[in-house]
Each structure stands twice: as structure tokens, then as C-alpha cells.
Chains A and B, each alone.
Chain A
């Protein structure tokens, strides 16, 4: 059986996020073996805005991208908002090659995402891929 000797992904759920925001920070490579933990933590039906910060993620594989797409689809179904923040060039290239860069909702920083998507700010439909 082949295994990959890489650092493990840490998923940190922010204990005191701004009101109405579910904030997760990922640190480390995001790959197939992390997707179930990610899915379990990221899908919260009762939270209006989910932000996943990728500042600490050097790369992700296709299975991880699939789980991010799953988050996108989940939020669309539930009419909730989400944002991916801090994606580096490598992740940006992956999104671009896969043709989902105009679909996924991304912002440079957490603050940018909150300002754009938090209640009271101008509403951005997740489907339109706000930047």
C-alpha cells in the first residue's frame, strides 16, 4: 500500500469567531485522508457564513478539491454563504486549471471575506463567485 510521508493537516476551529461566522483555519497539506474530518467540521446547517482559511495550506489534491466543491454545493442548497481565504498561487492555479476559479468564492483575507459577506454588508450570492 502506498502512503505519503507528509505533514498532517490540522483543522483549527476558531473558538471565538465574529458573530454568525463559522471560521476554520487549515494548516498543512490538504489531501484525501483529511476530507472526512474536513467535511464533518465544515458543514454546519445553522451557521449563515462559513470561512475556511487556507493561508497555512501549501497544496491540496483532487480529493480535497472535491470536498471544497462539496462545501460549495452544500451552501448553495442551504442558501448559506461561504468563503475560502488565503489561497496561495498553487491553489489558485489548481482552481484555474480545473475551471472552478470563477465558481468558488475566494477572498485574500478573512477580514475581506467578513466585510463582504457578514450580515449588514452587501450581499454576495455564493453562486456568482464573489471576489
Chain B
């Protein structure tokens, strides 16, 4: 926004050019008036906006108007730093560029003791609504309200709605400028503005926001640093209105309008009208916000649905997965707590005779955990194909995850490789729940640890352990969503119940073992919400026939 830097006989001031035109002269009817400057005609010149430019015209003054030392005889388009002189009055046109310091649109000030900032009219929504219906100006105001209601009924995004509401408000009451602000937490944010450099007192702000009052103020000097004898200064004597954007009892912002006193003096009827319009606007704004929220939620739900499809496609779903390998049975399931989960299971033939299988659990839930899971699964498959031992694989995987991990997430993981010819099992456990060996007598937990959770500690070396599976023996892997499943009495399923289930069903085929355990968990939960992802993998070694 451009401004005029004025030097009137040594007294300096600044006028922000935020109105369509400024008349300058000795007469008090001018927007910029200097009654005491000699050589100035009563109506000396006009500076008015024409598109992006400001045009200076001499109004037939006696002593003429000079720009950069040259008398102008026709309209002059002002350029940055043009100096306009009339006698002892000098104006410098300052074209503020975007790179220049941008003053804030609204500044809240403490009014000085000189301020005559006493509301000349005030009211709350209910009283002003009553007055509006009883007022003799009702017909004219009703037109304005109807026009506003029609305009606001159109479907507009919020940003455009703010601009429209402010424009309608300023036009309805004949203000020179205005600003619409909404309350976000404790902060007021400018959403639409006509004009700039608003200085609103804290008293006005608080009366509108906290006391929910509409105010009409005839504001005297709010900047006591300027000489009282100057009749033109940055903050002219202004008529001000400030009203809450209010729906029922909730204030969501405010509308502030003002006008130079000599241009427009607001009335109580104007205050009533602005209050009514502001109330309508607040309801419209809230409805628009709700509609945007609903739209965002629908979009989010669709995205999650899509993500769930992708995740389901990543997990093996064809069972039995290796029908040509009767020497083992394999079944697995993953039930996410949300649309997408952070648990993973996977299995793959490394070469004929070696079966790799894994269960993992990423910390947290939902989309972040699912993303981390996808990265982990991909890295593990790539690592496993290098044919290293399970410990070597987890060591490599851990360092790869640490390198990419800025979110402090981690994954627990059990990775095993079964020699399907001999039943020899090699494995590495990185911070995961100890699996159970089952099918031959009581279930037995495999407590050998290889190292901590993966993804946080660089340079960790994971050890490989081994077990010998007997024919008919199965290994059951699970995530903590199983043992920490809760019922309505806030009891945990726990290892005790898991071991009891395995004692009873441990010899069942792999698929029945998994399906039965899922059913037992559902029955235990009794309808309580699922708090965590539940993943199970059962591998039973049958040996060669």
C-alpha cells in the first residue's frame, strides 16, 4: 500500500493511501487539510486511485502544484519518491513495495488518557435484534438484510465468503473501510480486509469478544504523539463500529468498520443493521466450516480405505501358500485395530528346502505404523534374499531402519528360517514376544533373545539361535495385541490364557490353530473395542513322508 510522507512547515506526518481519493487544501472538508499553510488554495489538488496507479490533479489552484520542481498542467501519474510541493507544504509519494516492511493489518492498542473512546451506543445481539424490527428505518435495512442473505446463500469457499461478508457489511452501513477477523483459539486472525493500518483498542476488542457487545464509538485521537494542531494525521477522528460474529452464545470473531467523521457518522440504526448482518454471517461461516470438515473427513476415510486395500495386498493371503510342500503347514492372519495396522507377517521360500518366516510389530498404530511396516517388510525381503543367517539379516535391517528413522518409531521382529527337510530352525528375535513351541505336550516359550527392538540403536549385532522342531511340532508367533487384548472388565487375555489354549488345541492343523485362537480372542473380548493389531502365524513341521 502506498503512502504520503508530508512535511508541513517542519511538522512531519504520514498518510496511508487506503481510500479511493484524497482532496488536499485549506478547507476543512478536505481529507487532508492544512488551514494555516499559505500558498494553499481551499481546494488545491486531488490524489485519486486509477487501477494500480495514483493520479495527481491540480484543481485550478492559485499558486499551482509542483512535482519534482515542475509545475503540472495536466493529471500526473505519481511515481515512487515523486516530491509534490505547494508553498511550504511538501509531500513525497512513497510506493511501498512487497519487499518493504509490511505493517500488520490490525494492531491492538491501549488508548491514551486523552482518548475520548467512550461508546456512544452499545448493545447485545438480542436487544439490537429487537430494535431492528421496531425501527422506522426497517424497510431500508430489511432490503440490505435480504440482499445480504441472498448473497450469502450461494455456495462459496470460506475465503471468498469472508470477503463477501465484509463487502456487504461495509456497503450496508456506508463505511470507508473494515476488517473481518475470526477467533482461532485465543488469537484473532484477519480473514478479510478493506483498508489497512487498523488500530483497535483492547477495550473495544474485549467488549466485543468477551462481553459479546456491539459497539459504536466516536473515536478521538488515538495517537497522542501527533500534534493536536494538525488537523490531518494518521488517525483521523473516526466513527467506529465493532460487532461480534456470534452464533447463539458463541463468538467466533468480529467485524470492525470505521469511517472518517466528516465522511460518515454511524448511527444506532447502523449498529443494529451491522449486528444483524454479523449474526447471519456467523451462522453462515459456521455452516461452511462444518461442511469443509465433513468433506475433509470423507476424503480422509477414502484415503484410509485405499491404504487398507494396499496393505491387504502386501500381506500373503493365499492359504495354503505352498501346496507342493507337504512337509509343513503354514497359516497366518493379521487383524488391524484401525483401517491400517503396524503389524506384519510374511513368509517366503529362500531356496528349495529353506522357508523364511517373520512376524513384526511396529510401535504405534494407524497410518504412520503401516508406512513403517511397509518399509520394514520390503527391506527384510531384500535382506533375506542375500541368504545371510537370521541374525545377520536383522543386523543389516536394523542399521537400514535407523538410517531412515526420524520419527522415533521402532519395530519388534522375530525372523526364522526352517530347514524343511530336517526341521532345524534358525532364528533371531529383536525385542519381540517370545513364540511358543506347541503340539508335543505343554506349550514351551522360546525365550532366546538376539537383541533389542529394531530401528533405534545403530550398530547393534543380532545373534542367531537355533531349535530343533520335532515332527508334528509347531511354532506359534504372535504380537502383543494377543496377550494385551482386553475385555469389558479390563482384564488382559495374557500369556496364561494363551498357554491354556495351546495346551488344549496345540495339535490342531495350523489353519485351525489360528482360526480357533482368533475366535477365542473375540469371545474373550466380549465386544470390547480392539486396542491393538492382532497378528498370528503358525508353522507346523511335518517332515517328509
Interface residues of A (CB under 8 A from B): 1-6, 31-32, 59, 61-63, 65-67, 69-70, 73, 97-100, 103
Q: 3 tightest CB-CB pairs across the interface, nearest first?
A: A99-B452, A62-B363, A63-B364
Interface residues of B (CB under 8 A from A): 337-338, 361-365, 408-410, 412, 430-434, 449, 451-453, 456-457, 480, 484, 486, 490, 528-532
Tell me if B433 and A63 are in contact (CB < 8 A). Answer: no
Chain A contacts for B528, CB-based, 8 A: 5
Provide 30 A-B residue pairs closer than 8 Å at the C-beta atoms, listed in order of the A residue. Answer: A1-B338, A2-B337, A2-B338, A2-B530, A3-B529, A4-B486, A4-B531, A6-B490, A32-B364, A59-B484, A61-B484, A62-B364, A62-B410, A63-B363, A63-B365, A66-B409, A69-B408, A69-B410, A70-B408, A73-B408, A73-B456, A97-B431, A97-B432, A97-B434, A98-B431, A98-B453, A99-B430, A99-B452, A100-B452, A103-B452
Which residue of the partner chain, among A5, A66, A97, A99, contacts B451 with CB atoms under 8 Å?
A: A99
Docked complex Cα distance between A69 and B457 (Å) = 10
Tell me if B364 and A2 are in contact (CB < 8 A). Answer: no
Tell me if A2 and B431 are in contact (CB < 8 A). Answer: no
Docked complex Cα distance between A103 and B453 (Å) = 11
Which of chain B's residues has its CB closest to A103's CB? Answer: B452
- Known A66-B409, A97-B433, A103-B452; 4 more pairs at CB < 8 Å: A62-B410, A69-B408, A97-B432, A98-B452
Which of chain A's residues has its CB closest to B342's CB? Answer: A62
B483 CB to nearest chain A CB (Å): 10
Chain A contacts for B433, CB-based, 8 A: 97
Chain B contacts for A63, CB-based, 8 A: 363-365
* Contacts A2-B338, A2-B530, A97-B434; A69 near B484 (Cβ below 8 A): no
Which of chain B's residues has its CB closest to A61's CB? Answer: B532
A117 CB to nearest chain B CB (Å): 22
Docked complex Cα distance between A69 and B248 (Å) = 47
Tell me if A32 and B365 are in contact (CB < 8 A). Answer: yes
Tell me if B532 and A99 are in contact (CB < 8 A). Answer: no
Interface centre among A32, A98, A100 (most CB of B within 10 A): A98
* Contacts A2-B531, A103-B452; A98 near B412 (Cβ below 8 A): yes
B196 CB to nearest chain A CB (Å): 36
Docked complex Cα distance between A5 and B488 (Å) = 9
Which of chain B's residues has its CB closest to A93's CB? Answer: B495
Docked complex Cα distance between A6 and B486 (Å) = 10
* Contacts A61-B532, A62-B363, A66-B364; A99 near B408 (Cβ below 8 A): no
Chain B contacts for A62, CB-based, 8 A: 361-364, 410, 412, 480
* Contacts A2-B530, A5-B528, A99-B431; A66 near B408 (Cβ below 8 A): yes
Chain B contacts for A97, CB-based, 8 A: 412, 431-434
Docked complex Cα distance between A63 and B363 (Å) = 5
A92 CB to nearest chain B CB (Å): 14
Which of chain B's residues has its CB closest to A69's CB? Answer: B456
* Contacts A3-B529, A73-B456; A66 near B338 (Cβ below 8 A): no
A70 CB to nearest chain B CB (Å): 4
A85 CB to nearest chain B CB (Å): 21
Docked complex Cα distance between A65 and B409 (Å) = 9
A9 CB to nearest chain B CB (Å): 14
Chain B contacts for A5, CB-based, 8 A: 528-529
Chain A contacts for B531, CB-based, 8 A: 2, 4, 31, 61
Interface centre among B362, B363, B456, B457 (most CB of A within 10 A): B363
Docked complex Cα distance between A32 and B409 (Å) = 12
Chain B contacts for A1, CB-based, 8 A: 338
Which of chain A's residues has its CB closest to B407's CB? Answer: A66
Chain B contacts for A103, CB-based, 8 A: 452, 457
B488 CB to nearest chain A CB (Å): 8
Docked complex Cα distance between A20 and B531 (Å) = 38
Tell me if A99 and B363 are in contact (CB < 8 A). Answer: no
B530 CB to nearest chain A CB (Å): 5
Docked complex Cα distance between A73 and B408 (Å) = 9
Docked complex Cα distance between A114 and B530 (Å) = 39
Docked complex Cα distance between A104 and B233 (Å) = 66
* Contacts A2-B337, A66-B410; A100 near B453 (Cβ below 8 A): yes
Interface centre among B430, B431, B449 (most CB of A within 10 A): B431
Docked complex Cα distance between A32 and B457 (Å) = 22
* Contacts A4-B529, A63-B364; A99 near B456 (Cβ below 8 A): no
Tell me if A67 and B408 are in contact (CB < 8 A). Answer: yes
Chain A contacts for B362, CB-based, 8 A: 62
Chain B contacts for A65, CB-based, 8 A: 363
Which of chain B's residues has its CB closest to A70's CB? Answer: B408
Chain A contacts for B484, CB-based, 8 A: 59, 61
Which of chain B's residues has its CB closest to A5's CB? Answer: B529
